[in-house]
Amino acid sequence: MLSRTAESLYWTSRYIERAESIARLLEVAYRMSLMPTAGEGHENEWASILAAAGVSHAFAATGQEPTAEAVTEYLIFDPENPSSIRNCIGAARENVRAARPALTSDVWETLNSAYLQFIDILQGPPARRDLLSMCEWTKASAAAVRGSFETTQLQDEGYDFFNLGCFIERADNTARLLDVKFYVLLPTIDMVGGGVDQYQWAALLRAVSARRAFHWAYKGDYAPEKIAHFLILNPICPRSLIHCCERIDHHLSRLSRAYGQRSLAGRLAAGMYGHLAENNVRHIIEEGLHEFLTDFITEARKLDEAVNRSYMFWGH
Amino acid sequence: MSTKPDFFNEMFDGAEIRPAYTKVTKWFDDLGEEMLALKKAEAEALFRRIGITFAVYGEGGSTERLIPFDLMPRVFTRSEWDRLERGVKQRSRALNAFLWDVYHRGEIVRSGRIPGELVYRNEAYEPAVVGINPALNIYSHIVGTDLVRTGRDEFYVLEDNCRTPSGVSYMLENREIMMRMCPELFRSARIAPVDTYPDLLRRTLHEVAPAKCEGEPTAVILTPGAFNSAYYEHSFLADQMGIDLVEGQDLFVDGDFVYMRTTRGPQRVDVIYRRIDDAFLDPLCFRPDSMLGVPGLMNVYRSGGVQICSAPGAGVADDKAIYTYVPDMVRFYLGEEPILKNVPTWRCGEADAYKYVMEHLPELVVKEVHGSGGYGMLVGPASTKAQIAEFAELIKKNPSNYIAQPTLALSTSPTFVESGLAPRHVDLRPYCLVGKEVRLTPGGLTRVAMKEGSLVVNSSQGGGVKDTWIVAD
């Protein structure tokens, strides 16, 4: 497969996953904003999701206050924000266009339809642009693209590159989400266990569409430790770090087998997965969850670079 | 200029509907206006979703546009088609013989049949490929011949496109859309399928692999990139053939061969179906400022390490001045009488012709020799006095840059417009593939001038397209 094509597949799924993560974050902020917060002392939830999305500085540079309207507009529609849902969908479509022969027409048409619908929404009446329906629309569109990919795509190397992008992006997003919960929403440790805290944990689980799954697995006990376990170390949670790393390792191993040699990326991913598999949540919290997550995000970035180098995405 | 009754209307024979059109006409009649409007909207939505668009530059960045699609197909009977097919194949063989000849001994020039300066001083003549013997001596592997009809049995060739004729994706997608819009028709009318084209193209590309190719040839399509107006077609063809769509940056030359950068490392490439112009193929050989091509590609090509389709230099055969000699080529190389006629053409570079053209501009169509896409032309009868005077100045400055032709009474094909079904002028481009065999898919791209009376069918000038059917007599 052309390196340029592999790179396009990788970025297509990264952008789709990113759009979906932004939508999920916005939903969390919206839920939190409905909660009476006076006197509880935590920061503005709209500012928090800017931090989770990694765009606090860029947003601050626009000179706006992080109000519901401003943050929603910035994260969904702003053409100047490279991570806005609008730009993610546009970038995903550009990447699919560049890799078109490597994708089935089902995948292309699904994504192209989503893109055209977005343009329609942009040009339509403002009433169609409310936050919740935009979030639902984004999640449904991302699911449709992934669904058509899973059901029509040949499971060759292109399948692996697409999924690599998806799970590397998702792992990064989950880590950022958890980090925000601990250190942005609840800056003071004595608030842990309070009513607000409880509500925020529930919102966090909602953000990953895992509230019911969590109930099922942990019998509804919102202990921070258990939620951390669920989102970091429980392989049955599709957004947990360990699940993502397992899938990344799986796809890189498939590529190694197909190519007859193990890549730098493959070795890194195996290391990340092994490290998580041997860890336990008590240890992570004792050592510092924030530090753990920061390390993980750094590792994920290195992995991305290794994938680029191993498969010659930069060509020369 | 208005549509006069003396234009041949392909649907009617006097007041009678011609047999080829009876089924489709009845189908649309039964459909009713409301359903028809629905189908039209449905077809457009499909085109948009599939992404069959072409890029339009200017207007504040590039935008994507749909080419107007007409639901009413254009219908040929099998026997009409058979003759066209023989004629197009004959021309393609002669053009290829000509190309090989002018890059070798130039027998046709020595024999005095074509003036040497027209060939060797031609902008598209490529001295860098003199003496090269591409596989099977073929220079033009995909020939798009533009035809018009003026009567029941009267067909004329407007021009031959020997480099990289575009539009074949429309031929294929128009059919896909029609099959979704009116499956009943396809069940009842026996319409020759066109969907074998990608397979035939792939076969052709494989057949012309260079001698140095080992085992199964690796063919690729070379595109200028996603911003090119024909990018959709490039990706469509790569997709349909299951081969890689590459950009210049994906290829590199190492030693005697061309390679593409893949996730497994370099992979050798044997055949390049290029959709970029000669001038951009190799910055070391042609334009040094071009980023679209591959440095060193021409060296590999000359030493037989890679096949380029169509071969560099093939453009000299589709020059509009050379065009006038194609019937002579058929006689000279094939020893046959031409099956298809040329449009009578005046070469303004010749004194007698120049005089005639200048005196008759309001009746003539004048074209730039190297022009394309409907640019740089004058349609005399549809032009104002000022426009004609302006064009006369251009011709005066550089006569040999222009040819002139009479305005033909182009046939019309019934087309859905705002007011219902109305006659509109059409042309036809079938796609001829030249490999070990010469192959023609039964069909082609029918372009239609959507404006009443207009003779300009180019998509860049607002022309539309329709499906082309070959049905049993």
pLDDT digits (tens, 9 = 90+) for A110-140: 999 999 999 999 998 888 889 999 999 999 9
CB-nearest partner of B226 from A1, A97, A312:
A97
| HSE-CB of B447 using CA atoms within 13 angstroms | 25
CB contact under 8 Å between B262 and A157, yes or no, is no
Cβ-in-10-Å burial (0-12, 13-18, 19+) of A102 comes to buried
CB contact under 8 Å between A312 and B265, yes or no, is yes
Kindly report the pTM of this predicted structure: 0.86
Q: Which of B231, B260, B263 has the highest number of chain A CBs within 10 A, making it the mutation to test binding with A? A: B263
Q: Which of A2, A109, A164 has the highest number of chain B CBs within 10 A, making it the mutation to test binding with B? A: A2
What does the alpha-carbon distance between residue A249 and residue A256 come to, in Å, rounded to a whole number? 10
CB contact under 8 Å between A312 and B235, yes or no, is no
Contacting B with CB below 8 Å, chain A residues are 1-6, 94, 97-98, 100-101, 105, 108-109, 112-113, 116, 157, 161, 255, 259, 311-312, 315
List CB contacts (< 8 A) between A5 and chain B.
Answer: 244
Please give the share of chain A, as a percent, with pLDDT higher than 70: 91
Which of B372, B316, B287, B317 lies closest to B127, judged by CA? B316
Where is pLDDT greater, at A288 or B404?
Answer: B404
Which chain B residue's Cα is nearest to A307? B263
Which of A245, A230, A223 lies closest to A296, judged by CA? A245
Is residue B222 within 8 angstroms of chain A, CB to CB?
no
List CB contacts (< 8 A) between A157 and chain B.
Answer: 263
What does the alpha-carbon distance between residue B369 and residue B154 come to, in Å, rounded to a whole number? 25
CB contact under 8 Å between A101 and B243, yes or no, is yes
Split at pLDDT 50, 70, 90, the class of A193 is: low
CB contact under 8 Å between B49 and A94, yes or no, is no
CB contact under 8 Å between B262 and A1, yes or no, is yes
For chain A, the average pLDDT equals 88
* pLDDT value at residue B56: 57
* pLDDT value at residue B6: 72
Where is pLDDT greater, at A288 or A4?
Answer: A4
Report the SS3 class of residue A287. Answer: helix
Which chain B residue's Cα is nearest to A257? B264
Calculated CA dihedral for residues A229, A230, A232, A237, nearest 10 degrees = 150
List CB contacts (< 8 A) between A160 and chain B.
Answer: none
CB-nearest partner of A157 from B249, B260, B263:
B263
What does the alpha-carbon distance between residue B255 and residue B187 come to, in Å, rounded to a whole number? 55
Residue B437's CB: how many other CB atoms inside 10 A? 11
* pLDDT value at residue B5: 52
Residue type, A18: R
Q: Indicate if the pLDDT at residue A316 is higher than 50.
A: no
* pLDDT value at residue B58: 46
List CB contacts (< 8 A) between B247 and chain A.
Answer: 4
List CB contacts (< 8 A) between B49 and chain A.
Answer: 109, 112-113, 116
Q: Which residues pair with B260 in a beta bridge?
A: B251, B267
What does the alpha-carbon distance between residue A146 and residue A19 come to, in Å, rounded to a whole number? 13
- To the nearest whole angstrom, how far is the Cα of A136 from the nearest Cα of chain B? 21
CB-nearest partner of A100 from B239, B249, B250:
B239
List CB contacts (< 8 A) between A255 and chain B.
Answer: 263
* pLDDT value at residue A186: 53
Which chain A residue's Cα is nearest to B51? A112
Which of B389, B377, B381 lies closest to B364, judged by CA? B381
The secondary structure of residue A181, as a DSSP letter, is I
Give, in order, the Cα–Cα distances in Å from B398 to each of A132, A155, B403. 66, 60, 11
Report the SS3 class of residue B252. Answer: strand
Is residue B63 within 8 angstroms of chain A, CB to CB?
no
CB-nearest partner of A101 from B226, B245, B249:
B245
pLDDT tens figures, A196-241: 667 777 777 877 777 777 888 887 677 778 888 999 999 999 999 9
Q: Residues A295-303: what's their mean pLDDT?
A: 95
Sequence-distant (6+) residues with CB within 8 A of B188 are B23
**Structure tokens given for B304:** 């037989």
**Structure tokens given for B217:** 């040839």
Split at pLDDT 50, 70, 90, the class of A314 is: low
Q: Residues A38-67: what's their mean pLDDT?
A: 80
Max Cα-Cα span within chain A:
61
* pLDDT value at residue B470: 95
Question: What phi and psi values does residue B288 have, to the nearest 5 degrees?
Answer: -70, -20
List CB contacts (< 8 A) between A123 and chain B.
Answer: none
| HSE-CB of B155 using CA atoms within 13 angstroms | 23
pLDDT tens digits, chain B, 473 residues: what are they? 444 457 899 998 888 899 889 888 888 889 888 888 899 889 888 888 887 776 655 444 446 778 889 999 999 999 999 999 999 999 999 999 999 999 999 999 999 999 998 899 988 999 999 999 999 999 999 999 999 999 988 999 999 999 999 999 999 999 999 998 888 888 888 899 999 999 999 999 999 999 999 999 999 999 999 888 889 899 999 999 999 999 999 999 999 999 999 998 899 999 999 999 999 999 988 888 778 899 999 999 999 999 999 999 999 998 888 999 999 999 999 999 999 999 999 999 889 999 999 999 999 999 888 766 566 788 888 889 999 999 999 999 999 889 999 988 889 999 998 888 899 999 999 999 999 999 999 999 999 998 888 877 877 677 899 999 999 88
What does the alpha-carbon distance between residue A105 and residue A113 come to, in Å, rounded to a whole number? 12
